[in-house]
Each structure stands twice: as C-alpha cells, then as structure tokens.
A and B are shown apart, each in its own frame.
Chain A
Amino acid sequence: EAEVAQSPRYKITEKSQAVAFWCDPISGHATLYWYRQILGQGPELLVQFQDESVVDDSQLPKDRFSAERLKGVDSTLKIQPAELGDSAMYLCASSDLAANSYEQYFGPGTRLTVT
C-alpha cells in the first residue's frame, strides 16, 4: 500500500537554530498538506499545496516558517529560527482531489523538540 513518507522522524534542536522537514506524498496525489499537532490537541493546518502552488497558508507563521513544493511532488517545511513553542509533531498528508475524495493520508510525522 502506498504511503506518505516523512523525514526525519525525530528532531531535537536548540532554539534559534534552523530546522527542515521533508515529505514525499503518495504518487499521483496533487494535494499536499502540512499540519502541526501539539500534544493533547488535534492537528492544525499550516499550509496546503495544489501541485506546486500554495492554496492556503493563512495559518503559517510566515515570520519564521516557510514551505515549498517546487516540482509539485515532494515538499519541505522549514522553521528559522526555532522557538520553544514550536515543539510538536509535524504531519504531512496528501489527497487525490480528482478522485472526489476527502480522505487525507498522513505520513508518520516528524516529532520536533526545541530545547
């Protein structure tokens, strides 16, 4: 079964450092999402891509976060500089909107700890 790949699975960084996460969606899925999930809460959408274009980044803290999907396939989410409050699970998901389906398939996530 096809899966969404993410790396690294775990990242520990000091505050003020830069950190980057990578996501490879299920092949053929044009829509890609990045979520942040703080412990004890549900995932919150940070950014949505349709192919290489940003559909919605209204919840992305753009002073420190950036996301790109240059070729419309894999994607990178960057934080610079990291702050203590950024400690969370960062989840990537993809979906096939052409299939008229709302189902999003999530990757295993990157657990970030900022010290």
Chain B
Amino acid sequence: KQEVTQIPAALSVPEGENLVLNCSFTDSAIYNLQWFRQDPGKGLTSLLLIQSSQREQTSGRLNASLDKSSGRSTLYIAASQPGDSATYLCAVNRDYGQNFVFGPGTRLSVLP
C-alpha cells in the first residue's frame, strides 16, 4: 500500500531564506507526483507536476525534484516571502487513472 510522508510537519523561517520541503513515498511505481499549496479555509492550488520520467520541474521561485528509485521528492522555495505561508502537500499518482495518495502536509510560516 502506497504511503506518503512529509518532513517537517511545520516550519517557521524569516523572510528571504531558501528552504526545502521533503516528501517520501513507499512504492516507487508511480505515474507522477504533484505539489500543492493549501491556504486556510480554501481549496488546493497545484504548484508543480512531475511525471515519473522527469527529474525536476521549475516554476518561478519553486523547484521540485523527483528521485523515483529512492521514493523521494523535494520542493525548493527560493527567497521565501510572507505570502508563501501556507500548507504544502505532495500527492503521488499511483496509476494513469489518477488514484492519488496525499501526504499530511508541511505547514510553512514565513515571518516578515
């Protein structure tokens, strides 16, 4: 059974720092992996999608990497801003039918 974990559970950093969020999954047979952002009381916003054949994806200050063989993905946020404060979730797609398993999330606070 696929299990997804995220470390750390919570993180508080001063504005301007670069930071790394970690996601681990137990079964390397995945179709893709997606990083989401969730703001309090709101739905999820897709940040980056990495196909199983890819090693990384970049969008602005965000960079996500995927090491399928070791069951790990990282989300790198450069020059963090208070507006980046949110919960970050990773989700693993188990097959083409889009059967997603989510991690518990990392709650990020960026202090001004």
Verify that A and B bind, or say they do not: no
Interface residues of B (CB under 8 A from A): none
